[in-house]
Amino acid sequence: MALKGQKTTSDFLEWDKKQTLVLKLERDGDYKFALLIATGSYVGLRCNDLLQLRWSQLLNQPSFSITEKKTGKTRTITINPELQEILERLYTKMNATLDQYLFVNRFGKKPISIQHVNTKLKEIFAHYGIAGRYSSHFMRKTLGRRIWTVNKYSDQALLLLSQLFNHSSTTTTKIYLGIREQEISNLYLSV
């Protein structure tokens, strides 16, 4: 596990595998991490911003606004209907209240920590036999790869993703999403 503040790399998870993982976690009663992975993969926030969300911001709302801690920029995020279904279902299962954080700690007052998220994600991926390097950043990368795939790997999608992620260029976005690495690997396979 990385030290606090240390940069780490994280893989993305294919969308269908992410969906299956969320359903397995919900089936197995791990509602908090089913919700975390679903929400993180649909909204694409950095983990420190994701952990600050409250039920009242998302539940039965078409969108929400948040000022990102890292950039200081305000973003408005539209809530996907599939995410809204998950939120409604898990709100009931978790016996939550509207003023509560989505990802409340065991004491019920504050959100869980990023360190706890990373530790728990390693346990979850090991338990379900999912190979790769996964940290709290995988959800954001999963969203990026999904958007890029759904938009047929277009340059337009990369441009929009670079704006969504507040990257300085599409080159940065390609590196961030591991696209450049994949393209180079494919060159070797094309020979």
Confidence label for 186 from pLDDT (cuts 50, 70 and 90): confident
Mean pLDDT of 18-43: 98
pLDDT at 67 over 80: yes
Mean pLDDT of 95-106: 96
What pLDDT is recorded for position 26? 98
What pLDDT is recorded for position 4? 54
pLDDT at 8 over 60: no
> What is the distance between the alpha carbons of residues 191 and 187, in angstroms, rounded to a whole number?
7
Measured CA distances, 25 to 35, 55, 60, 91, 163 (Å)? 9, 20, 23, 15, 32
DSSP secondary structure string for all residues of 80-139: PHHHHHHHHHHHHHTT--TTSBTTB-TTSSSBPPHHHHHHHHHHHHHHTT--S---TTHH
pLDDT at 9 over 70: yes
Contact indicator for 159, 172 with CB cutoff of 8 Å: no
pLDDT at 2 over 50: no
Mean pLDDT of 76-96: 97
Q: Is 129 left (phi over 0), alpha (psi -120 to 50) or beta?
A: left
Confidence label for 183 from pLDDT (cuts 50, 70 and 90): confident
Tally the C-alpha atoms within 13 A of residue 129's C-alpha that lie toward its C-beta.
Answer: 0
Confidence label for 108 from pLDDT (cuts 50, 70 and 90): confident
